[in-house]
Copies of this chain bind each other. A is one copy, B any other.
Amino acid sequence: MTAARAVTTTPKRRGAVSRGDGQPPSAPLELTLQAEDYLKAIYELEREGDAAGTNALADRLDIAAASVSGMLQRLARLGLVKTERYHGTRLTAAGRAVALQLIRRHRIIESYLVARLGFAWDDVHDEAERLEHAASPQLIEAMARVLGNPTADPHGAPIPTASGEIAERELASLAALDVGASARVAGVNGRDPRLLRYLGERGIRPGVKVRIESREPFDGPIVVTVGREKQAISPGAAAHVRVEPKAP
């Protein structure tokens, strides 16, 4: 017999970092950094489509598809995910709760770094990507309190509440607006710092008012008025800018 160990008692979940939650009540549910990131990625892919595909996940996480398959089975075993063999993966309610808490941590951290520690908005994502796994609920709530419980991160993405509610809005893309239309920038999609910096330098940030002046054919530039300046940006870049259409 291999010692009465891996029977019922959870053996301390190797590799998982205890964040001081995981109270006795019901399930401790200590997840590794990797598992958490998978769940977040599945959440995002589910939002921008249907069930999350293995390859799409592999792509986003920069991990081989075979490895993703394996992890998905582990997550399924933990009841965090439901995979329809060969047809994609969805979060269970439990998995979604974990993902939303992680997203809350991520976005509050990003907000705090920008508001209190002088970080640029294009420079916070990677830092948050690591800290989100280490920060205790106590720390997160302290940051949120200091910031006055913000509801959106520096990129305009909504911050889930501590109880896991999120105000996801369906927004148009700047690239899809008609010529002549006005809109308010709600946020910028995309985690690429270069894109964020580029847009930021041109004044395209959450809250700013924009107006489409013209659009060139053959995927040509879109000319937008931002503040009192005109900017010509590519449809590719514009596609990442989410806007809230506005009356005249």
Contacts and interface: CB of A to CB of B under 8 A. Distances in A.
Nearest to A129: B134
A25 interface: no
A118 interface: yes
A138 B118 CA distance: 10
Interface in A125-148: 126-127, 130-131, 133-136, 138-139, 142-143, 146
A116 B146 contact: yes
A119 B142 contact: yes
A117 interface: yes
A33 B20 contact: no
Interface of A: 15, 17, 19-20, 33, 113, 116-119, 123, 126-127, 130-131, 133-136, 138-139, 142-143, 146
20 contacts: A15-B15, A17-B33, A17-B130, A19-B130, A20-B126, A113-B142, A116-B116, A117-B143, A117-B146, A118-B142, A123-B138, A127-B138, A127-B139, A130-B135, A130-B136, A131-B131, A131-B135, A131-B139, A133-B134, A134-B134
B113 A139 contact: yes
Nearest to A118: B142
Nearest to A126: B20
Contacts of A138: 119, 123, 127
Given A17-B33, A33-B17, A142 B117 contact: yes
B136 A134 contact: no
Nearest to A123: B138
Given A20-B127, A127-B136, A131-B139, 12 more contacts: A19-B130, A20-B126, A113-B142, A116-B116, A116-B146, A117-B139, A117-B146, A118-B142, A119-B142, A123-B138, A130-B135, A130-B136
Contacts of A118: 142
A118 B20 CA distance: 18
A116 B138 CA distance: 14
Contacts of A131: 131, 134-135, 139
Contacts of A20: 126-127
B126 A130 contact: no
A92 to B, nearest CB: 27
A119 B113 CA distance: 18
Nearest to A34: B15
